[in-house]
Amino acid sequence: MSLPKQVRIIEVSPRDGLQSEPRHLTTDQKVELINELSDCGFSQIEIGSFVSAEHIPQLADTEAVFEQINLSHTVDYSALICNQIGLDRAITCGIGHIALFTSASESFCQKNIQTSINGSLKTFKQIIQKAHDEQFIIRVYLSCAFDCPFEGTIKAQNVVPLVKYFYNLKCDEIVLADTTGRATPLAVQQLIELCRNSVPVEYIGVHFHDTYGMASANIFSALESGVQQIDSSIAGLGGCPFAPGASGNIATEDLLYMLHSMNIATGINLQKTVSIGNKVSAWLHRKNQSRISALMLH
Ligand code: MG
């Protein structure tokens, strides 16, 4: 068995976490959150999104947040976009890294972004070309890579061509997202092994929800298959506003505990992460979903 010596954690709480919370943080709170995350060693933070404020009012102030944070040269900040307008906002704002999302499930694609998978590939091809011209780093989320709330299990054979498509368009990170949290370790291994036949594993990231308590087992499986970039969210913030029943992302604190205990370096301070998770949970009047945080209180 071989596990990586080091992994990169992509902290998604300021975007994926906050977008599904009923309470909105103020711009100052978001700035404080992101500054503290960068102080405790995160090297990649998804700070918000440039999407319609009508759809995601929680993140309507992403420009202001990016303008006000203390930019650290050791942190790579990204923001989610879903169309040309979003890309234009990212260009104006000056952020260097964008994330796009499509889905491996036809029904989810229709319901979430109101187009077919093929329609989204066409649209994104143009956006990606323009983003390359502007020298963005490009991350692509493939939601429902394992399971769909409407269609059930998604076949790995249907996911691989999408991974290949974005690799061929020279995207920098392709993230297999378990939107419903119903993936299990063997399915994770099978999909990643299949993907590895088509693209270098360095391009593949994973994004697991802990709905069924499977996230850490799935991450372990991904690590064994060579994956070295993992999304997580402090306090387990998140879910998916468009996936009924989806609970939060794996809590970063719990992921750090697992990785550090296995001597896998992250560069992130667990104790400080626990404090930030507790603070944000209090701001949101929400229970902290991290088990490690609860244990560390005693
Ligand atoms: Mg998520």
Q: 99-120, pLDDT tens digit by residue?
A: 999 999 999 999 888 899 999 9
pLDDT at residue number 75: 98
Is 255's pLDDT higher than 80? yes
Q: How far is the CA of 139 from the centre of ligand 1 (A)?
A: 14
User: How far is it, in rounded angstroms, from Cα 51 to Cα 54?
Assistant: 9
Query: Quick one: pLDDT at residue 114?
Result: 87
* pLDDT of the residue at 112: 83
**Judging by DSSP bridges, how do beta strands 147-148 and 137-143 pair with one another?**
unpaired
Summarize pLDDT for 204-250 with one digit per residue, the tens. 999 999 988 999 999 999 999 999 999 999 999 986 555 555 578 99
CA of 141 to the centre of ligand 1 (A): 10
Dist. CA 48 → ligand 1 center (Å): 13
Domain annotation for the chain: domains and CATH numbers: 8-296 (3.20.20.70)
Global pTM? 0.95
Catalytic residue flag (residue 171) = no
Share of the chain above pLDDT 90, in %: 88
Catalytic residue among 40, 109, 195, 240: 240
State residue 242's pLDDT score. Answer: 56
Query: The tokens 């609860």 sit on which residue?
Result: 294
pLDDT at position 244 is 58
Whether residue 29 is predicted with pLDDT greater than 60 in this model: the reply is yes
pLDDT band at 260 (very low <50, low <70, confident <90, very high): very high
The reported pLDDT for the residue numbered 223 is 98
**Residue 296: its pLDDT value, please?**
84
Tell me how far the alpha carbon of residue 210 lies from the centroid of ligand 1, in angstroms. 10
What percent of the chain clears pLDDT 70, i.e. is strictly above it?
96
> What one-character DSSP code corresponds to residue 14?
I
